[in-house]
Amino acid sequence: MLEVLHSLANLSTPLHHGVIFLFNGAEENILQASHGFITQHPWAKQVRAFINLEAAGVGGKEVVFQTGPENPWLVQAYVNAAKHPFASVVGQEVFQSGIIPSDTDFRIYRDFGNIPGIDLAFIENGFIYHTKYDTADRILTDSIQRAGDNILAVLKYLVMSEKLADASEYRHGNMVFFDLLGVVVVAYPARVGTILNYMVAAATFVYLAKKASLPGNAGGRYVRDLACATGVAILSWFVTLLSVLIVALLITLLGRSMFWYNHFYACVCLYGAATTGKMVFIHTLAKNLYYGGVRLVELGDLYFDVSLLLWCCGLVWLTHQGLCSAYVPMLMVAFPLATRLLLAKEFKHKGNHTSILIVMKRCV
């Protein structure tokens, strides 16, 4: 904040709007300082938007995990200005659902000041947070530089924006937003996302229905195999969850609870191995018992369709609940389905060429 203040103070171009830097305390004591400012300070009435800086870990990338409410122009400001974007609407909806037992000053400014804002936070190495190891020397200068680049760029964009003068005019729904490998942020209105989600779901059900309506016994056999494979997939999830819980219980009984938290590879070996082993076991068992005469290629196609079906059900449910996080199952359905259809068309196209060449050769 001091470096951003220093940079703004040395700008040659006059700012269109004022900037208040609020260094407040008492956050962990029921957010008293932010509440006192937004409800009692005379400057609070002049604030039209805010950027809240948080830390739920030490270093790493600072992620945008809350925006708004219902101010898509703020998301667009971040999209247009951030040098190193890292954002996801999934974090926003998970955090605001109350699943994570935590809170930030963002809620105070939003609920008591009716002010839109952006909430950013460091989340890496969360096991150090609020412990005796949470010291300044553990914060990497690269993380501070990255955050400073983003915050300064977004702040410059906002203080020159005409929308900041009367932000209430631009409140029109939520935004779906997510970054692609930290290079660019994709953002579009939630209502557009709803239409897109239902279109993808409809295309998936048409694709599956076409297979189920094959002539003769092929359609009925496909439906039975699809239902059985879906049951196997769900059973594998249940057995995997059960195996992971058993491993966690054994570690707890041995008095080594949470020892893996700062040992990534130990976590992978313990829980990753249990998860992979159980899923492979369930699917291998199903193949040997039920799909004894089915070729591996056909079995792969069947489980591809099962994946589409399950992700599509999740897509429809999340979209019906009005959650912007539905973009995740949408991507998990849209790209595999499009790839499958394009490849099928390509192979069919090549097959037709082959047949023509064979006929021509025979004619000669």
Helix H or strand E encompassing 357 = helix 327-363
CA-based nearest residue to 23, from 2, 41, 43: 2
- Would the CA dihedral through 329, 331, 335, 337 be positive or negative? positive
Could you tell me which residues come within 8 angstroms of residue 303 by beta carbon, excluding any fewer than 6 positions away?
229, 233, 283
Co-location of 245 and 289 in the same domain:
yes
**Final residue of a structural domain among 182, 204, 233:** 182
Domain count, the chain: 2
**Final residue of a structural domain among 156, 182, 208:** 182
**Final residue of a structural domain among 157, 182, 207:** 182
Co-location of 205 and 141 in the same domain:
no
**Residue 118 near residue 51 (C-beta atoms within 8 A):** yes
How far is Cα 22 from Cα 67, in angstroms, rounded to an integer? 19
Co-location of 246 and 150 in the same domain:
no
- Domain assignment present for 212: yes
Distance of CA 266 to the CA centre of its chain: 25
27 is annotated as an active-site residue: yes
Q: What pLDDT is stored for residue 318 in this prediction?
A: 94
- Domain assignment present for 281: yes
| Predicted confidence pLDDT, tens digits, the chain (364 residues) | 999 999 999 988 888 889 999 998 777 778 888 999 999 999 998 898 999 998 877 778 888 888 877 778 888 889 889 998 898 888 888 888 877 777 888 889 988 988 889 998 888 877 777 788 888 888 788 888 999 999 999 999 998 888 877 766 667 778 898 988 878 888 898 899 999 999 999 999 999 998 888 787 777 888 888 888 888 888 888 888 888 888 888 888 888 776 666 666 777 777 777 778 877 887 777 777 666 555 666 777 888 899 999 999 999 999 999 999 999 999 999 999 998 888 876 555 555 554 444 444 444 3
Q: Residue 272's domain spans which residues?
A: 193-363
How far is Cα 314 from Cα 328, in angstroms, rounded to an integer? 10
**Residue 77 near residue 164 (C-beta atoms within 8 A):** no
- Domain assignment present for 188: no
- Domain assignment present for 187: no
Co-location of 69 and 197 in the same domain:
no
Co-location of 92 and 120 in the same domain:
yes
Gyration radius from the chain CA atoms: 27
Catalytic residue among 3, 27, 28, 298: 27
Co-location of 175 and 92 in the same domain:
yes
Sheet holding 50-55, edge to edge: 50-55, 117-122, 62-68
How far is Cα 312 from Cα 201, in angstroms, rounded to an integer? 6
- Domain assignment present for 252: yes
CA-based nearest residue to 187, from 311, 303, 71, 332: 71
